[in-house]
A and B are shown apart, each in its own frame.
Chain A
């Protein structure tokens, strides 16, 4: 007992005797392997996006999100955007984090997400915009702030606008405050954002 003598065997290739992995197997470890085996295959994106809402194990989900992040395609981004409307917060957050890793595709999704009927999806659109370091993002946020009617989305917009330092952000914040004159929280959020803007 105690420290073993090194065998050198840890670095030798081992022949695969893996059980055939299936996405609907009862064991999450097997489902995780099935997800990993899909990576890079044609049609994998559709399969992953379809299985994610039904998958409850975080390890399997994370493998699926990583496979989508690695795919880095417009189709993967589209599929992830659909998941932003899911009821499960962990699923929505995972989709948002993964979308943020592919800004080149996520950028094109901001407009439809910003017009989505569900305010929660619009909030995710604003959060996603905050993850995309692109000069046009501030203008997109300003345009969204002109007409957004949901106070929770506006609160999120105020925070995002406060970090842009863009010309026009102050006017957009003032417009939000004017739209909700009786909402003390939004008033506070706008004041804080204006303060950040003034501090540069």
Chain B
């Protein structure tokens, strides 16, 4: 039964990807203009051709590094704010309007303003922090709220220290929500960093490579870079979920 379930879990994503490629291939055949829509085979060829280029790997490294540290800078305050908002009513009254304000600012405005203000290498990371932070805060808040109030009450009766409660009650019971929020959050983070890199013309980045490909009308390269971004995003999301499953053994 377990093997059958695992097989089903593998087969469906493969079928969906195959269907997307098939639709893409049919559309490319119908349009018959690789400048507008290159075929999957042309795009994959361009994708594999990048493997031999050092600049491609440098760009991947830079974009990933930017995504990673911007994610950490969103993740830590999101957890702290979620815990504070859950614990103190007045903290929530301050934090919630602040989050609502950040969330309501259009992403494109944030990107354009920050590009003016900041160094193009830093701006994409700051954009990602500003956009991802409210998303992570919301999912972490939901994770904190899902902690069983009866366990919190039991901990209070037995006078368990706050450090012990955070370490053994709050964090482990928040963990499923933390990993789920982080998996989708990190994936979105990569996409945001790439978009901001493209607009900020950040040197040696996936975003700027996409920008150049578009300017030079090398559409198959643009598609190849998109495939690279999708793979990065999917692999990171999958890796976070895998770590989550390993950590939350008790579930």
* Chain A complexes with chain B: no
